[in-house]
């Protein structure tokens, strides 16, 4: 997961997808100032899930037989 060439592919995907999901799901709560610890944990997970999916895709796509 921390192999630099894979990170170069996975991180931008995770940032774009995570930001879109964050804006859809949590932005209003953060802007209102109502974000508590649970919301911040959800925000971290919102970015972590696309990162894991993108990394899995890169690993499968670059696997050698």
pLDDT for the residue numbered 64: 74
- Listed by start position, the domains of the chain span 4-61
Return the structure tokens found at 10. 């996975």
* Euclidean distance between CA atoms 24 and 59, whole angstroms: 28
pLDDT of residue 1: 65
With CA atoms as reference, report the closest residue to 1 among 60, 48, 52.
52
From the list 47, 63, 60, the residue with the least C-alpha distance to 13 is: 47
Please give the Cα distance from 15 to 36 (Å, whole number): 22
pLDDT tens sequence for the chain (65 residues):
677 878 888 999 999 999 999 999 999 999 999 999 999 999 999 999 999 999 999 888 887 77
Q: Which of 11, 13, 53 is nearest to 2 (CA)?
A: 11
pTM: 0.84
* pLDDT number for residue 3: 76
């Amino acid at each position: 997961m921390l192999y630099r060439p894979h990170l170069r592919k996975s991180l931008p995907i995770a940032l774009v997808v995570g930001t879109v999901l964050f804006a859809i799901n949590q932005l209003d709560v953060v802007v209102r100032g109502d974000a508590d610890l649970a919301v911040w944990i959800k925000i971290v997970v919102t970015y972590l899930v696309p990162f894991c999916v993108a990394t899995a895709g890169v690993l499968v796509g670059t696997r050698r037989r």
